[in-house]
Structure formats: structure tokens, C-alpha cells
């Protein structure tokens, strides 16, 4: 019993708040930007005064940004976007052709193919269906079978596009964009 009482007194003394069985808590460190000074008041008592100083002296970052910095940032952002547009991975027409071949094998074999619906590939096929350099003739024939099962808004869009191609007698629906777009005139 005496040993347990001695342990309790040690724990009580180390905890500092008189709670038995609690471990001692480490003291919190003060912020480096706050300093304490003791000064004598008029009555002669020591008074603690805190001097709060900013961690980084001077104006904040928002106040330092100039219009030249904004222009540089805008140009850098435009350059990143341009590079991103140039580096966009173009879908290989062979991937789309293989997608349609697997779909046809599944239809013909009754569901034993490894074909899985891929929205991006379907969108690519619908977008480039009338471009013979991207969709070969034999792939186009499979695509026509694929389009039979198309439903919803995609079907309506394809129907409208097919009517436009028939009306234009095979002429392109829209003109190709020039290689280098003309630069916009800057307003001053």
C-alpha cells in the first residue's frame, strides 16, 4: 500500500493539476512572434506586457503584386493552356476500329466478346464518322450497324448530321480551321 501511495504522489506532482493517474502534459511553446516583457508599473508591481510582431515584417504578398506580375502570370497561364491543347492525346483510329470490331463480334456471337461500352470512343466515332481518312470504309460499315442501336440525343444529332451531309452531297459540314489563327488586335 505504501508503494502505491508513493506512486500516486509522484504522478500528482508530475501532472501538476492534482489528477491521479494522468500523465504529465508537456507545456505549450509560445509563438516566436510574441515576446513578453516585464515592466515596472507606477505602483511598483511587475506587469507582463506582450508585444505582438508579424512573423514577416512589411506589406503582405497581395500588396506587392504589380500589374507587370499579373501580365507575366497571364502569359504563363496562356502558354500552359496552349501546350496542353497541343499535347492532347488524339484517339488513334485503330482503337476506334477495334472497338467496333469487338462490338460486332459480340453482336454476332451472342455476347461472348470482351467488348465494353466506352463513351469517349463512341463520341469520337460519332464526331469523325464522315471523315474517310479517320474511319475506313470497312469500319464505316460496322459503324452503320452500331448506329442502329443508338438512342437519345446522340441519335438525333447523328440523324441531323446525316441529313446535312446528304443535302450537301458529301461536302464537308464545316470548314477546317486555318493552321495559324489570326492574332486579335489588342485594345489600348
Q: How far apart are CA 28 and CA 137, in angstroms?
A: 76
For the CA atoms of 24, 30, 31, 35, the dihedral, rounded to the nearest 10 degrees, stands at 180
pLDDT tens for each residue of 84-95 = 877 766 778 999
pLDDT tens for each residue of 24-80 = 565 655 555 555 555 555 555 555 555 555 455 555 555 677 888 899 999 999 999
**pLDDT at position 73, please?**
92
pTM over 0.85: no
Amino acid at each position: 500500500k505504501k508503494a502505491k501511495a508513493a506512486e500516486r504522489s509522484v504522478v500528482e506532482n508530475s501532472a501538476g493539476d492534482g489528477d491521479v493517474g494522468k500523465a504529465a502534459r508537456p507545456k505549450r511553446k509560445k509563438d516566436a512572434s510574441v515576446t513578453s516583457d516585464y515592466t515596472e508599473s507606477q505602483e511598483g508591481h511587475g506587469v507582463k506586457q506582450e508585444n505582438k510582431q508579424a512573423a514577416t515584417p512589411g506589406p503582405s504578398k497581395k500588396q506587392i503584386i504589380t500589374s507587370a506580375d499579373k501580365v507575366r502570370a497571364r502569359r504563363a497561364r496562356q502558354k500552359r493552356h496552349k501546350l496542353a491543347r497541343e499535347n492532347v492525346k488524339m484517339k488513334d483510329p485503330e482503337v476506334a476500329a477495334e472497338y467496333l470490331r469487338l462490338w460486332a463480334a459480340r453482336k454476332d456471337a451472342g455476347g461472348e466478346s470482351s467488348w465494353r461500352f466506352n463513351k469517349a470512343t463512341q463520341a469520337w466515332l460519332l464526331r469523325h464518322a464522315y471523315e474517310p481518312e479517320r474511319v475506313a470504309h470497312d469500319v464505316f460499315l460496322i459503324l452503320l450497324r452500331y448506329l442502329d442501336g443508338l438512342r437519345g440525343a446522340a441519335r438525333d444529332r447523328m440523324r441531323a448530321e446525316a441529313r446535312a451531309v446528304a443535302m450537301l452531297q458529301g461536302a464537308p459540314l464545316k470548314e477546317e480551321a486555318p493552321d495559324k489563327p489570326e492574332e486579335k488586335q489588342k485594345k489600348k
